[in-house]
Chains A and B, each alone.
Chain A
Amino acid sequence: MGRLTVASPALIAMRRSITVERRVVMGGLLFLLGLVDALVFGYLAPKGHAVFTFTPTGAAVRVPNLSITPRPVDIGLGVVSCVLGGLYAALDMMTVARRIVATVCALALLVSFLCWAGAGRIPLPFVSLLATTVNSSIPLMLGALAGCLCERAGVINVAIEGQLLTGAFGAAVVASAFGSLWLGLVSGAACGVFIALMLGYFAIRYRVDQIVLGIVLDLFAAGITGYLYDAALVPFANRLNSPPTFNALKIPLLGDIPIIGPVLFDSTIFLYITYAVIVLVQVGLFSTRWGLRVRAVGEHPTAADTVGINVLATRWRNVILGGVLAGIGGAYLTIGSVGSFGKTMSSGLGFIALAAMIFGRWNPLGACAAALLFGFMTALSSVLGTIGSPIPSDILLMFPYIATIVAVAGLVGRGRPPKADGQPYEKA
């Protein structure tokens, strides 16, 4: 039977100017958003003010609430968006200007939406929204960073979902069985490494298609955690599925800054680990010898080989490191938040992390920014649920997934993966 290939179109390099067609389409879209802002969110807004609070309970500094009447504000924002959309379509702007315009219109949409959704409802806790954003982005960021590490070295890792799931499982079970959070954290990482070893083995040694392999590993992870859950965790829930959870750790002084403090400096250790990892990976990849070699392996493994770099070992190392990160991200899902493990609790986060990585053009900082965007969508749906918004909860739950589709459909441009990404290396 014929060989099986799974192909994708070539990703186009970024151009400085875009075609007239693209400009008009984008500009038209922005104009449309403006109309939505003005008409749907502004004109059709329910009665009442939208109130945003910025001071969580127990905060050191009180920031006053913000009360907005939706109609005039949204109509105003809508007009701005329409005008910008028209300009976008008509003028041939520089890349920077285009990005700014698009961002402004997106923000206008967001603000209008929030005003509309919050009109006449109980105050929307804005700090809580941001804090939930940051926290729910933790597994996404760690997953996206894991993806960066693997793919920069040339190995596609679609098994992040499976690593998150097994990480969550391992952390919960071990922390519960031994009553130790730190052991749980280490086990989470170890489980991520377990999947990573399988990924590396089949991808690097046996050169299997990496996307297919990743998906199969995800299935395997779902199967084995599901099986063990039914076989062991349910009957022995007290012993094996009642782990302690990490408490929030507030950083003195920094944690007291109004608005930002509670969001960025008052969370579990997972957030601080994430900060450290972001710095390490960013600096590591682009300013160290290690990073140069990793990127060489991902872009042109033969060239790296001919200067004496061990391509396969480099790939193995990065895949395993990625497993550690993704495992920790998975551990967050249990011992960093809800505690006990539930079947398929990673619910697609691994794939959203992948989308964040692509969206962030395989750069650690960009990937994390994209992850935060997706995390925001999740947080938004949960906060809107608590204040009782007009949108049905099931539709709200779709937000992060729809956002991912929109992002990946490239409405905001695409990048280029490392040149040898996904290509197994054979010595010449």
Chain B
Amino acid sequence: MTGDVAVATGDEVRPPQGSEPPAGQAGGGPGERGFTQVLIDAVTRGNSVVVTIAAFVLAIVVGGLIIAFTNTTVLHAWGNLFSAPGKAFAAAWDTASGAYTAMFEGAIVNPHAVSAAFHGGPISAVFNPLSETAVTATPIILSGLGVALAFRAGLFNIGAASQFIGGAMIAGWIGFAVHLPIVLHVVVAVIGGFVGGAAVGGFAGFLKARTGAHEVITTIMLNYVMEYLLIYLLGLTVFRRPGNPNPISPTIAKNAQLPHLFGANLRVNAGFLIALAAAAAVWLMLYRTTTGFQLRTVGSNPRAARSAGMRPERSWIIVMLVAGGLAGLAGASVVQGTNFDLAPLIWGTYNVYAITVALLGRASPVGTVLAGLLFGALRAGGVTMQASTQIPVDIVTVIQALIVLFVAAPPLMRAIFRFRAPRSGGEQLEARGWGG
């Protein structure tokens, strides 16, 4: 009769996936201790940094290929690939390396300026690229912190742009419409920036807490709403620069401008210090306050948070207020630090940068600062690159997206570069969905 089943000797069956890892795995959990220890860990933690560097290299290579093969000279040369292969490769290499050289000179240091300085040229020109990097990185770090902090509480804040605009609006208005004495003006304007951003972010958080509206959609919609609101406001006489038909606000008062750090020749200003201070404040909040503990718990496991007596809804509102405020500070830093007025293009591509920086920095304050500096450098360099080589600065966005994509898939990196698997469980972004 059918139905005999026999399983013969010598079976060695692999344990099911997800069975317990061997005891004694030090994962270096999130309960980080001293600030310096954190810094050291972030820089030296083996595999995570290696993967990031590898992703960076790979993204640079892919970016270089794109730059090269969208250049007409290179395409011509490759049309003659078989008759003059040397020229083809040289053309490709020249284009790509020229682009990256220009980027480097725009972001870090330009050797020509250095040699000129030795011959009596201006010293400030030597530090100009670094200054530009810092200036560019400031709003990126701040808005990146806004996204990163929200991540920690389990929220995906794509509305950094709307919060940025909210902050810029208030800071700008205080800057040109209100008159206050010297230190007070700039401080009040900065605080106004925080408040403006917090209002917009808090609204999205409130919607999520009360109605469950998914923050991805509401924040993106708010981006467009705030964009149009800004344009509308700039059309009103209250906001418009007298005598100028374009939608642009009056210049903000001198007293409201953020002071330069190293003299007027370098654009780097107090906003950079605000960014670093904000990162430290975020770290303190997350790891040294009860609110931060709540946020992290809610972000890691909202159900366990509830069972422990916490209320995720409250955490969401709080975190979106602070995150929005940080992005608002980014807006204020641009209005008060470099542009000195309010204009529609003001939010530019900051949203993109904020998200990619937060992802790259694994949503930790230190990581966000480092990633922000990196992307600030890329952007500052990109602007110079566009000016000198006509290569559009959008390629920087592509490279950033590639870096993040590659970093998000360590198995892919390992496959390409043949790394060993990391010791602890992967730092991959864990997949969740619409419903918890």
> Does A398 contact B436, Cβ atoms closer than 8 Å?
no
Contact with B along A353-379 (1 / 0, CB 8 A): 011001000000000000000000000
Q: Which of B218, B224, B232 contacts A348 (CB 8 A)?
A: B224
Selected from A215, A229, A231, A401, the residue in CB contact (under 8 A) with B221 is: A401
* B211 within 8 Å of A (CB atoms): yes
Among A9, A206, A212, A354, chain B packs the most CB atoms within 10 A around the CB of: A9
> Which of B42, B302, B408 meets A213, CB within 8 Å?
B408
Question: Is B427 engaged at the interface, CB distance under 8 Å to the other chain?
Answer: yes
Q: Judge if A16 is at the interface, Cβ distance under 8 Å.
A: no
Q: Which of A8, A12, A426 has the most CB of B within 10 A?
A: A8
Question: Do A156 and B433 contact each other (CB < 8 Å), given the known contacts A222-B352, A392-B232?
Answer: yes
Stretch at the interface among A40-48, A278-286, A308-316, A405-413: A405-413
Name the residue of chain A whose CB is nearest to the CB of B215.
A8
Beta-carbon contact of B392 and A230 below 8 Å: yes
**Is A10's CB under 8 angstroms from B430's CB?**
no
A355 B412 Cβ-Cβ under 8 A: no
Q: Which residues of A contact B228 (CB under 8 A)?
A: 394-395, 397-398
Q: Per a CB cutoff under 8 Å, which of B154, B218, B398 touches A7?
A: B154
Q: How far is the CB of B300 from chain A (nearest CB, A)?
A: 6
Whether A122 is near chain B, meaning CB under 8 Å from some CB there, is no
Q: Does A232 contact B (CB under 8 A)?
A: yes
Q: Are A231 and B433 in contact (CB under 8 A)?
A: no
- Is residue A158 within 8 Å, beta carbon to beta carbon, of the partner chain? yes
Residue in B closest to A203 when the chains form the complex, CB atoms: B431
Query: Which of A229, A347, A352, A355 has most chain B Cβ within 10 Å?
Result: A355
Query: What mask results when residues 146 to 185 of chain A are scored 1 for a CB within 8 Å of chain B, else 0?
Result: 0000000000101000000000000000000000000000
Query: Which of B207, B401, B429 is close to A223, meaning CB atoms less than 8 Å apart?
Result: B401
Is B155 in the interface zone, CB < 8 Å from A? yes
**Which residues in chain A, 96-144, are within 8 Å of chain B measured between CB atoms?**
none
> Does B435 sit at the interface, judged by CB under 8 A?
yes
Residue of B nearest to A422 (CB): B433
* Interface status of B356 (Cβ within 8 A of chain A): yes
Judge whether B398 and A220 touch: CB under 8 Å: yes
Number of interface residues of A (CB under 8 A): 70
Q: Is the CB of B395 within 8 A of A156?
A: no
Q: Are A394 and B217 in contact (CB under 8 A)?
A: no
**How many chain B residues have a CB neighbour from A under 8 Å?**
77
Q: Which of B225, B232, B312, B409 contacts A206 (CB 8 A)?
A: B409
Question: Is B222 an interface residue when CB atoms closer than 8 A count as contact?
Answer: yes
Task: Tell me whether B214 is interfacial, beta carbon within 8 Å.
Answer: yes
Chain A residue at smallest Cβ distance from B367: A1
Min CB distance, A35 to chain B, in Å? 23
Interface residue? B434 (CB, 8 A) = yes
Residues of B within 8 A of A217 (CB): 401, 405
Q: Which residues of B contact A231 (CB under 8 A)?
A: 70-71, 391-392
Chain A 270-290 interface 0/1 with B at a Cβ cutoff of 8 Å (1 = within): 000000000000000000000
Of all chain B residues, the one with the shortest Cβ separation from A210 is B431
Contact, CB under 8 Å: B224 / A212: no
The answer to whether B434 touches A6 (Cβ under 8 A) is: no
B244 partner residues in chain A, CB cutoff 8 A? none
CB-CB nearest in chain B for A232? B70
Return the contact of B428 from the options A9, A208, A351, A398 (Cβ within 8 A): A208
Query: Which residues of A from 43 to 75 have beta carbons under 8 Å from B?
Result: none
Q: Are B212 and A422 in contact (CB under 8 A)?
A: no
List residues of chain A with CB within 8 A of the CB of B394. 223-224, 226-227, 229-230
B391: nearest residue on chain A (CB-CB)? Answer: A231
Within 8 Å by CB of A216, from B299, B405, B425, lies: B405
Q: Is A299 positioned at the interface, with any CB of B under 8 Å from its CB?
A: no
CB-CB under 8 A from B392, the residues of chain A are 226-227, 229-231
Interface residues of A in 200-220 (CB under 8 A from B): 202-203, 206-213, 215-217, 219-220
**Would you call B402 an interface residue if the criterion is a C-beta within 8 Å of the partner chain's C-beta atoms?**
yes
Smallest beta-carbon distance A194→chain B, Å: 14
Interface residues of B in 161-220 (CB under 8 A from A): 207-208, 211-214, 216-218, 220
Distance in Å: Cβ of B357 to nearest Cβ of chain A: 12
- Name the contact of A209 in the complex, choosing from B222, B231, B356, B431 (C-beta under 8 A): B431
Is A4 among interface residues, defined by CB-CB distance under 8 A? yes
Whether the pair B355, A215 counts as a contact (CB closer than 8 A) is yes
Check B408–A421 contact: CB distance below 8 A. no
- Tell whether B295 is near chain A: CB-to-CB under 8 Å: no
**Of listed A224, A405, A422, A423, residue having the most chain B CB within 10 A:** A405
Contacting pair B433 A421 (CB below 8 A): yes
Q: A417 touching B433 by the CB < 8 A rule?
A: yes
**What's the Cα separation between A422 and B435 when bound, in Å?**
9
| Beyond A2-B296, A222-B397, 13 additional pairs, beta carbon < 8 A | A6-B156, A8-B432, A11-B435, A202-B409, A206-B408, A212-B359, A216-B408, A223-B395, A230-B394, A348-B221, A408-B221, A409-B211, A424-B431
**Top-3 shortest CB links A-B:** A422-B433, A223-B397, A230-B392
A-B contact pairs, 19 of them (CB 8 A): A2-B29, A9-B436, A12-B212, A202-B408, A208-B429, A209-B430, A216-B401, A219-B400, A219-B401, A224-B398, A348-B221, A392-B232, A395-B228, A398-B225, A401-B221, A402-B221, A408-B217, A423-B433, A428-B16
**Residues on B close to A: CB < 8 A?**
16-17, 28-30, 42, 45, 48, 66, 70-71, 151, 154-156, 158, 207-208, 211-214, 216-218, 220-225, 228-229, 231-232, 235, 296, 299-302, 312, 352, 355-356, 359, 362-364, 367, 391-392, 394-398, 400-402, 404-405, 408-409, 411-412, 425, 427-436
